[in-house]
Every structure is written in C-alpha cells, then in structure tokens.
Amino acid sequence: MSGEKPLTSILSAQAGRGSEPNPSFCVSGERKGPALKEWKGKGRLFVVAVDGPAASGKGTLARRLAERFGLAVLDTGSLYRATARLVLDENGDPADPVTAEAAAKHVDLRLLDDPRLRADSVARAASVVAAIPEVRRELLGAQRNFAAHPPAPARGAVLDGRDVGTVVCPQADVKLFITAKIEARAARRVKELREQGAPAIYENVLQDLNERDARDSGRGAAPLKAADDAHVIDTTMLDADEVFERVCRLVAHALEEKEWQQ
C-alpha cells in the first residue's frame, strides 16, 4: 500500500483546525482539579486506564477525568479507527494482515481528529484490524509512549480502550472497567446518533454492538476483558454524572496514595 493518497487527504482534513482541541488526544490546560493542586509526586507520572466495551461511556468518562485532574487523554480506539480508515481509503481488506499492518505504520497521533473516523463503517473495520496481532504490536509503542511522556503540562495520562489495563499500561495507578448491559449501550448509542441528526435504528445498532463485542472479546490478541485489579463499574442503572463522581473519588484517593509513596 502506498499510503500517500489517504494520508494526504486526512492531513488536509486537519488543515485549518489546528487550534481546535482534539477530542482523541488532548491535554487539559486548566489543571483545576483539587487533587492536582495538592500533587507533590515529583517526576512520577500518574496513569489511569479506562477500558470497556463499545458505547459504555468510557470515552466521555476519560475526557472528564482528564479535565478534572489535569491529565492528558488518549482515545486508543481512534488509533484502530485511523488504521481502518486508511485501509478503507485504499479499498483494502481490513482483515488482510499485510495491508492492515502497513496502514498501522502510517498512523500518527496528530491525525486522530478526523470526524470521519467516527463513522460506523470505520468502527466495524476498526474491530477487524484490531484483531490482527501485527496491528496491535505496531500501535502499542505510540500508546505506551503517550502514557510515559504525556504532553506538557499534564502530570499523567488517561487512556481509554479495550486493553489499556491488561496490556498497554499494566502498571496503571487506577484501572477502570466500564460496562453496561448491551441493550442499555445500544439505546445510548441510538440517542447519541439521533442527537447528531443521524438516522439510527435500534435493532441495527444492537446487532452492530453484538458483533463488535463478540470480535473484541473473542480475539486471541489482547481481548476485551477487565484486568484482575480493575474496578468494574456496571453503568446500566447509573447516569454519567453518578459514574463520574464515583470514579473521581477513586482517582483522588489513588493520587493521594501516590503522593504518600514519594
């Protein structure tokens, strides 16, 4: 795969949007979290891993945590989406390891702000490329590097995905596994799509999530599963604010403990 054409088109889609925050990858500039003000952990980075199935609310939660505690945030799913998008742009087969690995080599953290990565077709293809071990290996370094060297002024990072607590950052200070019954997740995704003006049929969304769950949990390479030491939070009966406040208490506590260990 040449990689030139789709890469250029994604790059040009970025042009002119340099000043907008990238929702997949950004640093909270405000640093207004109470725990951060008390932070005395000189030189030691604080990492939060947020894993869970599609539409569990982990992305929104990760961004809110980053904002509250002054951490950088990386949506690791967008790396798989970007890989898938490059393959689709080449009319390639997302299940072909050679094509998918070549695409993964072209993925750059600066290219993750493309709204086209949010398309359902890209999400489906992302879960196909994500099952290929060579693709996962290719994308692992960028994720670990982000956690180890989050962009200034962040003192640490929140990474959300499927295998952050198990594979990418097994030493994370806090590991969260955010889940919910599939019917609740499908209903939330339908609401979100309709609010964006996109037509969404509940049965189709449900089937799509079922297929992605099965692929993500059933694959041999880094399957979706909670780390043994993760806090598993079932959000079926909880609203986003309740989840956020509960998790903030866990994170604030872990920050305090880390400070004590210095």
Q: Could you list the residues that contact ligand CDP (CB under 6 A)?
A: 54-55, 59, 76-78, 80-81, 123, 126-127, 130, 161-164, 212, 216
Residue 127 or 235: the one with the smaller Cβ distance to ligand CDP is 127
**Least spacing, CB of residue 220 vs ligand CDP, in Å:** 12
Cβ-Cβ contacts under 8 Å for 41 (sequence gap 6 or more): 155, 255, 258, 259, 262
Nearer to ligand CDP, 35 or 126 (CB): 126
Contact 78, 24 (CB under 8 A): yes
CB of 171: closest distance to ligand CDP in angstroms? Answer: 16
Q: Are 169 and 158 in contact (CB under 8 A)?
A: no
For the record, the structure tokens of 229 come out as: 């030491």
At its nearest, how many Å lie between ligand CDP and the CB of residue 262? 30
Nearer to ligand CDP, 77 or 150 (CB): 77
Residue 160 pairs in a beta bridge with: 50, 75
DSSP state of 164: I
Q: Which long-range contacts (CB under 8 A, 24 or more apart) does 217-221 make?
A: 217/53, 219/130, 219/131, 220/131, 220/133, 221/131, 221/132, 221/133, 221/136
Quote the least distance from Cβ 259 to ligand CDP, whole Å. 28
To the nearest whole angstrom, how small is the minimum distance from the Cβ of residue 32 to ligand CDP?
27
Cβ(29)–Cβ(129) below 8 Å: no
Nearer to ligand CDP, 27 or 123 (CB): 123
- CB-nearer residue toward ligand CDP: 59 or 70: 59
Q: What is the largest CA-CA distance in the chain?
A: 53
